[in-house]
Every structure is written in C-alpha cells, then in structure tokens.
Amino acid sequence: MIQMIDISYLRNELDSLGTAISRKKFECDLDIIIELDQKRRDSISLAEQARAGQKATNKEMSQLPKGSPEFIAKVTEMKNLAAKVKELESLAKDADDKFKEAFMTIPNIPHESVPDGKGEQDNQTVSTWGDIEGDFPNSIPHYDIPWFDQMIDFPRGVKVTGAGFPFYLGEMSQFVRALINFFLEEASINGYEEVHSPIVVNAASATATGQLPDKEGQMYLDQNEEIYLIPTAEVPVTNFYRDEILTTDQLPVNRCAYTPCFRREAGSWGKDVRGLNRLHQFDKVELVKWTHPSESFEELEKLRNDAESLLQKLELPYRVLLICSGDIGFPHSKQYDLEVWAAGQKRWLEVSSCSNFTDFQARRANIRFREDGEKPQPVHTLNGSALAIPRVLAAILENNLQQDGTVKVPKCLRKWFPKEIIGSPKR
C-alpha cells in the first residue's frame, strides 16, 4: 500500500485513499478537493492559453509598421489581452490557493500494521518492562510528598506567568538538568548528533511538520511576528533540511535536541493534571531521523529501542502501546507510545511518542534525496521523545520514595547529580 499523499495518488486512487483516511479520526471531503483540483487545472490552462495568445499577438505586432492602422489595432488588442491575462492569472492563483488549503487537510494514512480502532481504548500493548506490582511500599502521588512544593513552586509560577509554568528550585533544578544531560549523552552514544535549535518557528515550519492546520489552537502564537513557540523540538529540527536535497549516502541522518516545549492544552482540573502530569511549559529531549523510504520502519524500531533503554536504565516500569488508527496523529503513519508506571498515582503516564511519518512531512517540507542520478524523491521522517522530563520525574519521585521521606536517585544520574537521595527526610 502506498504510504504517501501525493497529487497522483489523490487523482488516481481516490477510493483507496478515502478508505485509508476513514480509518483515522480526521475528516476531509475528498470529492470537494478533487473538484478544486480540476478547477485549479482548468484555470491554469486558460491562463496559459491567454499568455500564449498574448505572445503570438505581440509577435504579429512586431512585424507591422509602427503607426499603421494594423499596428494601432494590434495595440488595442494587446491591451485587451493583457487585461484578460491578468484576470485569468488572478483566478488561477485564487483556485490554486483554495486547492492547496483543502489539500493540506488530508491526513497521512496509517500503515497497514496499525490496528483499527476508534480511540485510546483500542490501543494495543505490545510489550512491558519491569514489575508494576513490585515493591513500592512508600509510594504516594508526587504532589503529596511533603517537600514537593518547596522544590517545585507552582503558586509563584502562576504569579509570574500562569498555571502550568512552575519554578524548579535548588536541588530539583539540578536534578532536572541531570536528566537532560543523561538523555543527551545516551542519544550521542546511540549515534544522534546534538543540535541546539530555535524554540520559535514560522508558519511554514509548523505547516511542514503537520502542526498546522491541525493543532494551531494548541500553540502559542506571536501575532505581530507570526511565529510560534514550539510544542516539540521535532518542528525546528525536522525543518533543518526544508527545501533541500540530500544524497543517499547521507541517510539516515540522526539528530537530537533538548528544548523547552510549550503547549496550550489545558485539560480538566483533577488528578490527571495535578502536579507534573500536565504542564504548559516542559523540558524534553527529542530524537529526529531522516531515512531512506525502504528503511524507515526498521529505523522506527531502533528509535523506539533507544527511548526504551532510557527507562530501563532509570529502572522505571513501562509499557509500549501501538496506537490504533482512531487515536493516531494527523501526520503519523505509525506510532508507539511509551508509558511509565507512576506507583503513587497507580496510573500510566505517557513519556514518549515514537512515530514514522513516512514521506508526509517531507513532501510538505520539500525534503528529498537523490539516488544514483535518479530524480529526487522524498525522504521519510521519524521522531520520538527521549524523554519528556516532567512525567519521568513524577515516576522517579513516586517509585523511589523511601520510608524516611527522601527519594532514591537512580544510579545512572549520579554522574551529573552526585547524591544518593533528593528531598528532605521526615522529622
């Protein structure tokens, strides 16, 4: 099955495309898009014919004596043709703009290995690691740990900015930095080149990766500059190669980036969004791949394994979900979610999404590669969180809470946080 959305697929395989899209939760009217495509092509054809007529008339006029009645008549004809060409070019541009706007609403189609389903209840658990029924005798929700508010200050974050923008203080700030350093070093060991990217992007970049037009309401927008705060490093890093052609021997390209991330998603108040469960600003390390189309699903499994290895070294129980067709994202072809077990809350927390976008983002971003002198073709793009900090931190605090009220620091972090415990003992 074709894993791409290109114009020929729309025109020639409409029923197949419609069936594939129907597996997802997103809706788009393909009949209207086809109609707009035809209007666009007709309008462009008329404009081209008018320009050809204008060129022919201009050639005829050049062969006539200046000032002759025939020449003067041709001048009048040229003025009329010029006005007609201008009108038809304007109509063609309007038709083209309307088609492109509609065309951008077509989601990527799910890979054949993606299970059917209507929502998150139909996602499939494909693997687990660790024992969620293990020994967590002291666990309580992280936000109920007595010293939690002294190290992560939400009220002052509300005062300074608003809800979902906490301050991390003292040792906790250092601990967060240790997690970031650990994630980046592991990424480097696994072959990802680190980049330090912008944290704001323009609309073209957000459109290329599929945030626009799907998720405009979830991003913070500077309307004066028409730039967006990034929801993930995926957006600037993927766009690094926008409008460029790579060579086969460059692939795969593996990059990692640490950035703060900004999301307007609020959710309802309650235990699901308390403490670190859902924030508007959070830190995350992102892994991004540009791959050969024939290797992208193999690279997806490598990407997933790279993210999983972090949770294993942190000794945090987790599960891997294969996301069903009704829950998969707009630009995604196949997606795994990694969820860590938070023993205090007795619930799973998503800490990573590892996805293959096939050539969906690459077509929108015009990222291509050239193979053996052949015509350039789109690469496949992938990304995955490795990892998102807040929920990983929540699981560490809950799962590693000791009887005396302190939290045991995972051994893998002590290179950057040289203490065995964090927090204050009970008095």
Q: Is the pTM of this model over 0.85?
A: yes
**Tokens encoding 407:** 């939290």
CB within 8 Å of 129: residues ≥ 6 apart = 308, 311, 312, 317, 318, 319
Torsion 373-374-376-382 (CA) sign: negative
pLDDT confidence band for 97 (50 / 70 / 90): very high
pLDDT confidence band for 90 (50 / 70 / 90): very high
Mean pLDDT of the chain: 93
Number of Cα atoms under 13 Å in the Cβ half of residue 267: 13
The pLDDT, as a whole number, for residue 5 is 62
> Does residue 132 surpass a pLDDT of 90?
no
Q: Which of 99-103, 130-134, 360-364 has the highest mean pLDDT?
A: 360-364
pLDDT confidence band for 292 (50 / 70 / 90): very high
The pLDDT, as a whole number, for residue 13 is 85
> Does residue 9 surpass a pLDDT of 70?
yes
Block residue for tokens 């052949």: 374
**% pLDDT > 70, the chain:** 97
- Given a contact cutoff of 8 angstroms between Cβ atoms, the answer to whether 276 and 93 are in contact is no
> Does residue 44 surpass a pLDDT of 60?
yes
DSSP assigned state of 353: E
pLDDT confidence band for 268 (50 / 70 / 90): very low
Q: Which of 8-22, 91-105, 404-418 has the highest mean pLDDT?
A: 404-418
Q: Which of 19-33, 79-93, 312-326 has the highest mean pLDDT?
A: 312-326
Sheet harboring 377-378: ordered strands across? 245-247, 368-370, 377-378
Q: CA–CA distance from 330 to each of 204, 224, 293, 377 (Å)?
A: 17, 28, 19, 22
Tell me what the mean pLDDT of segment 217-241 comes to. Answer: 95
Reduced DSSP (H G I as helix, E B as strand, rest coil) percent helix, strand, coil of the chain, to 5: 45, 20, 35
Higher pLDDT, 385 or 225: 385
pLDDT confidence band for 98 (50 / 70 / 90): very high
pLDDT confidence band for 4 (50 / 70 / 90): very low
> What are residue 322's DSSP bridge partners?
124, 336
pLDDT confidence band for 422 (50 / 70 / 90): very high
> Does residue 267 surpass a pLDDT of 70?
no
> Does residue 80 surpass a pLDDT of 80?
yes
> Does residue 23 surpass a pLDDT of 50?
yes
